[in-house]
Amino acid sequence: MAPSLGRRRDPKGTRALLVENAFHEIHAHGYAGASLERILASSGVTKGALYHHFKSKADLLHAVINDAIRPMIAERWMKPLAGTDDPIRAMAESTRAIMTDATPEELRCGCPLNNLSQELAGADEEFRKHLDRVAHDWRAAIQAVFERGQRAGNVRGDVDCATIATLVFATYQGLIGSVKTSRDQESVAAGLSMFLDLLEGLRPWNAPRDRMRGLSWIMIHTD
C-alpha cells in the first residue's frame, strides 16, 4: 500500500501509526517474532519512512514500551487509583472494567509488559531498564494508594504497603499472563476475583467488607 499524501505530510502521525501497529505486532508475536514487513504493510508506509523515525527494530521497541505500553498501563491500571483512598474497592472496580472491555486478542496475548519482560529482560540490559521503569511506576502507584488507604482507615496500619504493591503487581502479571498458555479465561477471572476477595482481609477488622467472591462481578469474552 502506498503512503498517502496526507500521511507523508504528517510525520508525527506516521510515527504514531508505526508505534501503534508495532505494539499490536509485538503483542501478538513477541519481539523476536515481530515482522517489520507486517508492520509496514499495516501502516501503509515505506521502509524508508520507518527508518526515518527509528534507526533499528530495537529503537522501535523502545518507542513501543514508552509511547504505547507505558500510557496504556497508566490509563488502565494507575489512573483509577489516583483519586481514591480505598485501594481495594478501586482495584476491584478497575479490574472488572478492564476484563469486561478486553478483547479476545488482549486476553489471549496476555500482558504486554509481562510478555516483554519474560522475553527480553534477561537478554538485553537496555530493554530491561525501559521495562523496569514502567513496572516501577506501576508498583509506586499501587503503594501510594495503599498508603492513602492507611491514612484514611481503609487499610490496616500493620500492612507493609511496598510489599503489598509488589504482591499485587506480580499477581496481576501472573494471572493475566496465564491466559496465553491455558486459554482458560474463566479460571483467570476466578483467580482475580479470589485475589481481590483476599485483599479485603487487609481492611481493619471492624471495617465493612466489600466481598466480590465468584464470577458474577466480572464479564469476559468466551468467543
Q: What is the CATH number of the domain that holds 117?
A: 1.10.357.10
To the nearest 10°, the Cα dihedral for 208, 212, 213, 215?
A: 170
Indicate if 118 and 47 belong to the same structural domain. Answer: no
106 conformational bin, left if phi > 0, alpha if psi -120 to 50, beta if neither:
alpha
Q: Looking at residue 9, what is its pLDDT?
A: 62
| Alpha carbons 118 and 157: distance in angstroms, whole number | 34
Task: Indicate the pTM of the whole model.
Answer: 0.84
Cα distances from 4 to residues 23, 45, 47, 106, in angstroms, run 22, 8, 14, 30
State how many domains the chain has. 2
Question: Other CB atoms closer than 10 Å to residue 152's CB: what's the count?
Answer: 12
Q: Which residue has the cell 508498583?
A: 139
Residues 47 and 69 both lie in one domain: no
Give domain status of residue 59, yes or no: no
Domain that holds residue 33: 1-54
Q: Which of 118, 60, 86, 121 minimizes the C-alpha distance to 199?
A: 86
| Angstrom distances, CA of residue 1 to CA of 24, 25, 40, 46, 219 | 19, 18, 9, 9, 38
User: Mean pLDDT per 10-residue run, the chain (223 residues)?
Assistant: 49 94 96 96 94 95 96 94 94 85 79 92 90 96 97 96 96 82 77 88 78 42 40
pLDDT at 150: 97
pLDDT above 90 coverage of the chain, percent: 62
Give me the CATH number covering residue 8: 1.10.10
Task: Give the position of cell 538485553.
Answer: 124
Residues 195 and 88 in one domain: yes
Residues 10 and 79 grouped into a single domain = no
What's the confidence (pLDDT) of residue 1? 43
